[in-house]
Amino acid sequence: MERAFVGESFELRFKMFDARDKTRTVDSATFTVSDGDGTIIQSGALSIQQDGHIGTFRFVASVSGPNKIVISYRIGDDAWKQPFYINVEDP
């Protein structure tokens, strides 16, 4: 699990693709960040890079404890979700 400290802010990058056809590009992508209780503390749209496969957003470590990031993206009519975890600690 990745680690961050309360007050840090940095860009996260995610590679997104269709495993059956890697030439297809992402049409749209969103993210949610929730704390250990499931409360959403940050959400929005990912910025899609020109290659159509990399999405980015600025993570703000504001709540200590395990933070769950869920990336949701669409390619045509197909939709996927992928979770990631960051443990945020109080310095």
- Tell me the domains of the chain and their CATH numbers: 2-89 (2.60.40.10)
pTM of the model: 0.91
Length of the chain: 91
> What's the pLDDT tens digit per position in 8-34?
999 999 999 999 999 999 999 999 999
> What's the pLDDT tens digit per position in 23-80?
999 999 999 999 999 999 999 999 999 999 999 999 999 999 999 999 999 999 999 9
* Structure confidence at residue 91 (pLDDT): 82
| Spatial contact of 65 and 88, defined as CB atoms under 8 Å apart | yes
Query: DSSP states of 32-76 as a string?
Result: EEE-TT--EEEEEEPEEPTTSSEEEEEEE--S-EEEEEEEEEEET
